Amino acid sequence: MEAAVAEPGNLAGVRHIILVLSGKGGVGKSTISTELALALRHAGKKVGILDVDLCGPSIPRMLQAQGRAVHQCDGGWVPVFVDQEQTVSLMSVGFLLEKPDEAVVWRGPKKNALIKQFVADVAWGQLDYLVVDTPPGTSDEHMAAVEALRPHSPLGAIVVTTPQAVSVGDVRRELTFCKKTGLRVIGVVENMSGFVCPHCAECTNVFSRGGGEELARHAGVPFLGSVPLDPKLTRSLEEGRDFIQEFPHSPAFHALSAIAQKVLETPAQLS
C-alpha cells in the first residue's frame, strides 16, 4: 500500500507506533500492551497507550487510572498520566463513560469516528513509543486504526497468541491481515506459555508450548518471546501495580523485559 503523507498534528512528536493485535480474544493483548509500556518506561522511554478496544477498555484498571477525567487543551484532549513523572500517558474510551460498567453499544461508523478522533485530537506531546491496544479480530476498527495511524510515524505490529492450536489458527489470520494492509510485523509474542508455581517458581506447561514460535517461523517474522502465567503478574494487573518494578525476579519479568529489549532493537522502518 502506498504511504500517505502525514499532516502536522498531535502525533508529530511520536517516534514509533506499535499496534498490539490478535485474531483471538482472551489471549492477553491488554496485558502485553500494559507491561510492554511499563518495560519501555523503565528502559528510559516516554510512552503513551491508546486503548481502542472500545467494548472492553480494561487498561485504565490495569494502570489504576479508573475514574480519572480527560481535560481539554488548545491542542485537543490531554491524555491521563499514570505516574508522577508523566512518562506514561493513556487515552481510553473508559475515561469517557459516565459509569465504568456502561456498555458501549455503537455501530461501526461511530466506533471508527471515535478512533479517528483519538488519533487526531489527543495531545500526546513528545513520545518515544505509542502502544495501541486493539480489540480481537480484523474488523472495521482495525482498518480505521491502521489507516488513521499509517501517515504519522514508523508503524509496526506485535501479534499476540497463546500456545494452543486453536488460538494459533485464529492468530494466523491476523498475520494475513497485516500482510494485506502492508503493516510491518515486529514479531509474535506467545502469552500464557506455562504456569509459574507461586511456591517453588517451577513453570508447568498447562496448555502447551511452542505454538507462537512455530507460527512466527512459518510466517517468516520474528519471535519475540514467551510470557508465562504468573500469579504475581495477575495480581499486579488487578491492583493496578507496576509489575516490572515490583517483581524483578519473576520469570514473567525476564520474559517481558526481553521482549521490550527486542522492540527497542528493532530498526524503524516505514510501513
- Report the pLDDT value the prediction gives residue 8, as an integer from 0 to 100: 44
* Residue 270, pLDDT above cutoff 70: no
DSSP string, 62-92: HTT-TTPPPEEETTEEEPEE-STT--EEEEE
Q: What is the pLDDT of residues 29-81, one digit of tens each?
A: 999 999 999 999 999 999 999 999 888 889 999 999 988 888 888 888 999 99
Q: According to the annotation, is 111 in a ligand binding site?
A: no
Q: According to the annotation, is 178 in a ligand binding site?
A: no
Enter the C-alpha cell of residue 174. Answer: 491476523
Query: Which CA distances in Å does 263 have to 103, 128, 184, 187?
Result: 34, 12, 13, 9
Q: Mean pLDDT, to the nearest integer, of 121-128? A: 94
Q: According to the annotation, is 110 in a ligand binding site?
A: no
Q: According to the annotation, is 200 in a ligand binding site?
A: yes
Q: According to the annotation, is 89 in a ligand binding site?
A: no
- Report the pLDDT value the prediction gives residue 2, as an integer from 0 to 100: 43
Q: What is the pLDDT of residues 71-106, one digit of tens each?
A: 888 888 999 999 989 999 999 988 887 776 777 777
Q: Mean pLDDT, to the nearest integer, of 195-212? A: 79
Q: Which residue has the higher pLDDT, 172 or 3?
A: 172
Q: According to the annotation, is 26 in a ligand binding site?
A: yes
Cα 129 from Cα 263, distance rounded (Å): 10
* pTM (2 d.p.): 0.90
Q: According to the annotation, is 27 in a ligand binding site?
A: yes
Helix segments in the chain, DSSP class H: 29-42, 59-62, 108-121, 140-149, 165-181, 211-219, 231-239, 243-246, 251-265
* Residue 131, pLDDT above cutoff 70: yes
Q: According to the annotation, is 47 in a ligand binding site?
A: no
Q: According to the annotation, is 203 in a ligand binding site?
A: no
CATH class for the region spanning 14-265: alpha beta
Q: According to the annotation, is 99 in a ligand binding site?
A: no
Q: What is the pLDDT of residues 241-253, one digit of tens each?
A: 999 999 999 989 9
Cα 31 from Cα 28, distance rounded (Å): 5
